[in-house]
Amino acid sequence: MSMNELPNNPEKPNMGAPLAPETYPAPAPAAAPSAGPAVEPRVPEVPSGLGNLLNKPQNLAIVALAVLLALQTWSTHTRFNKLREEVARTLQKDNASNAETAQLVRDTQETAKELQVKVGVLESRQSESQSQQAALQQMYQDISKNRDEWALSEIEQVLSTASQQLQLAGNVQGALIALQNADRSLSRSDKPQFITIRRAIARDIEKLKALPSVDQAGIALRLDNVIGQIDNLPLLADEKPAEPQAPRRVAAAHGAAGAGGGKPAGAATPVPQDMGLGQRVTETWRNWSQEMWDDIRQLIRVRTVATPEALMLSPSESYFVRENLKLRLLNARLALLSRNEGTFRDDIGTAQEMLVKYFDARARSTIAAQSMLRQVQANNVSIDVPDLSESLNAVRNYKSKS
């Protein structure tokens, strides 16, 4: 509340203003003269100074009100000054904050400009990368498609070769390996379209596994072993006479030779000198006749042979007999690989007949060769093999649709 806003109380005059003449009390009219002694009229005293003002209650109230107004004015002025100082400090802080904010705004604007430039560069690079990614995706699709086509072409070629080998040579193991490799190649791709092809390949694999196994390698090795022994097999025409035995002597002569220091068995025993002339002639004739008989026995041998022409082979004919036997076994080996069971059995039978006819059947090597040929002849070399048409048709149908 300011000094100018003092309340105007009409009933309480201002303490500082002088009283107007109209405000003084009017003099009382003179009383009528009475019978008593005469009294002089009394003039009222005019109040003057602070003491006069304080003597009245109204003046005290005015003074108290003035003091309160002064205190109020001083307090208001003090608070106004403090408020002004605070406002000044706040304004200074706001100015500093505004300056910092302006600097931050400028920095932010510069950063925003730089970011806009960078964003523009990134957008251009992103557009380039997107175009490159689209090109790479298209290229990958083309490569993937071509790769699948190449893989299917390779699988088709492998299956076709395996089918030919299976039909011509009966190579079941080779066809089985080819099918398994084709299925393994298709398993690397995650395309569901290959499931039909894999099912067809799985059915062909089960068919091949159900076939009886033919040990062609073991049979071929046995035939090779027999072929390698033919040059060492003894022929009937190559049989040599037995070694000559030592001539028999008289028991007494043998006893004398043994006691005389152990001479060789084949050495002629000298006729003792203490014998008579007749005994010495008889002993000499006996020794001579025994030696002559042993030599004659080595020249003539009697043996029963079913084919006499086998004993009359010349060295060149013996060579051709061995070579013909080898050719028969080699032809049987080729028939084994081509699954020609009729030719295989005919050649094995002919080879066995040649062994019996021209070779010494009592020799151990000949007996071993005959045993191996009998083992080979007991095997079946021809089986009904299926074709791989189901797998080939599945691959070709997929290629025609794609």
* Domain assignment of residue 259, yes or no: no
Secondary structure class of 56 (helix, strand, coil): coil
Encoded tokens for 155:
């699988």
Same-domain check for residues 188 and 157:
yes
250 burial via Cβ count (<10 Å: 0-12, 13-18, 19+): middle
* Amino acid letter, residue 166: L
Please give the DSSP secondary-structure letter assigned to residue 189. Answer: S
Same-domain check for residues 198 and 231:
no
pLDDT of residue 323: 92
* Domain assignment of residue 76, yes or no: no
Domains identified in the chain, total number = 2
* Domain assignment of residue 315, yes or no: yes
pLDDT of residue 56: 67
Same-domain check for residues 197 and 227:
no
Same-domain check for residues 391 and 355:
no
pLDDT of residue 308: 61
Q: Which among 333, 338, 331, 342 has a CA at the least distance from the CA of 376? A: 333
Q: Are 320 and 329 in contact (CB under 8 A)?
A: no
CA–CA separation, 296 vs 241, rounded Å? Answer: 12
CA–CA separation, 44 vs 30, rounded Å? Answer: 14
CATH number of residue 201's parent domain: 1.20.120
* Domain assignment of residue 361, yes or no: yes
Same-domain check for residues 220 and 333:
yes
Per-residue pLDDT tens digits of the chain, which is 402 residues long: 444 444 444 444 444 444 444 444 444 444 444 444 444 555 445 445 555 555 667 778 888 888 988 998 998 989 889 988 988 888 888 888 888 888 989 999 999 999 989 888 888 888 888 888 888 877 766 666 667 777 788 888 888 888 887 777 677 788 888 888 888 888 877 677 788 888 888 888 888 888 777 777 888 898 999 999 998 888 877 655 545 454 444 444 444 444 444 444 444 455 555 667 778 788 888 888 888 887 777 666 655 656 666 666 777 888 888 999 999 999 998 888 777 888 888 999 999 998 888 888 888 998 999 999 998 888 877 777 777 888 888 888 887 776
* Domain assignment of residue 371, yes or no: yes
Same-domain check for residues 234 and 349:
yes
Same-domain check for residues 189 and 220:
no
* Domain assignment of residue 351, yes or no: yes
Same-domain check for residues 352 and 373:
yes
Q: Which among 180, 175, 181, 170 has a CA at the least distance from the CA of 215? A: 170
Secondary structure class of 96 (helix, strand, coil): helix
Same-domain check for residues 364 and 221:
yes
Same-domain check for residues 234 and 313:
yes
pTM of the model as a whole: 0.42
* Domain assignment of residue 324, yes or no: yes
Q: Which among 233, 239, 246 has a CA at the least distance from the CA of 303? A: 239
Residue 359's φ and ψ, nearest 5 degrees, are -115, 160
pLDDT of residue 302: 58
Residue located via tokens 């048709």: 393
Domain enclosing residue 327, as ranges: 216-239+307-377
Same-domain check for residues 188 and 313:
no
Same-domain check for residues 332 and 356:
yes
Q: For every residue of the chain, which 3-state class applies, written as one string?
A: CCHHHCCCCCCCCCCCCCCCHHHCCCCCCCCCCCCCCCCCCCCCCCCCHHHHHHCCHHHHHHHHHHHHHHHHHHHHHHHHHHHHHHHHHHHHHHHHHHHHHHHHHHHHHHHHHHHHHHHHHHHHHHHHHHHHHHHHHHHHHHHHHHHHHHHHHHHHHHHHHHHHHHHHHCCHHHHHHHHHHHHHHHHCCCCHHHHHHHHHHHHHHHHHHCCCCCCHHHHHHHHHHHHHHHHHCCECCCCCCCCCCCCCCCHHHHHHHHHCCCCCCCCCCCCCCCCCHHHHHHHHHHHHHHHHHHHHHHHCCCCCCCCHHHHHCCHHHHHHHHHHHHHHHHHHHHHHHCCCHHHHHHHHHHHHHHHHHHECCCCHHHHHHHHHHHHHHCCCCCCCCCCCHHHHHHHHHHHHHC
Q: Extract long-range pairs of 239-247: CB within 8 Å, 24+ residues apart.
A: 239/360, 241/298, 241/299, 241/301, 242/298, 244/294, 244/295, 244/298, 245/294, 247/287, 247/290, 247/291, 247/294
Report the 10 Å Cβ neighbour count for 263: 13
* Domain assignment of residue 44, yes or no: no
